[in-house]
Amino acid sequence: MNINKKAKLNLNKMQLSNLLRITDPFLMIDEVKNIIPGKSGDGYKYLKKNNWFYKCHFVNEPIMPETLQIESMLQTIVSVIYSDVSLKTRNCLVIKSSANFYSKVNKTGKLKISAEITKKIKGAIQAKASIYFYNKIVANGVFRFIIPENLKI
C-alpha cells in the first residue's frame, strides 16, 4: 500500500482489513476517510438490520454493544496510526482507555467515528475519538497506546 504522508487518504474495507489484520465479523469499520497519516481521520460503520450483534444482543430490544463501539473507535485510531509511513511496526498495545456513552445505537444508519492523535511521546500515543449517529454524539473516548521503545515518533 503506497501511503503518502502529506495527502489525505481514504481506505476501503479490504484495505482496512489488510492494514489492521482484522476480518469480519470483528472489523467494526467499513471505511476510513480524510486520513491525515499519524494525525486524524474519520471512520464509518454502516449499520443494517442484519448486523450480527443486533441479532444476538438484547434480542427483544437490539442495540450495538458499547464494547463494539469502543472497538470501532480503536480501529479508526489505529488506522490513523498505522497509515503513518514513519512507523517501523504495525503493532501497538492499548494501555489505558476511558469511554463515555450518551445514547443507544439501535437502528440502521451510519456511524461516523472522528479520531485524532493528541500526543506522541517516546513510544507512546494518546488519541481521542467521538462517535456520531444521525449527527448526534453517542459516545467518545480517550485512549493511550504504547509501541516498541526503538520507534521514533
Partnered with residue 92 across adjacent β-strands are none
Reading the block at residue 50, the C-alpha cell is 442484519
Reading the block at residue 61, the C-alpha cell is 430490544
Reading the block at residue 82, the C-alpha cell is 498505522
Is residue 57 annotated as a catalytic residue, yes or no? Answer: yes
Catalytic residue among 57, 104, 107, 144: 57
With beta carbons less than 8 A apart as the criterion, state whether 22 and 72 touch. Answer: no
With beta carbons less than 8 A apart as the criterion, state whether 127 and 91 touch. Answer: no
Residues with a catalytic annotation lie at 57
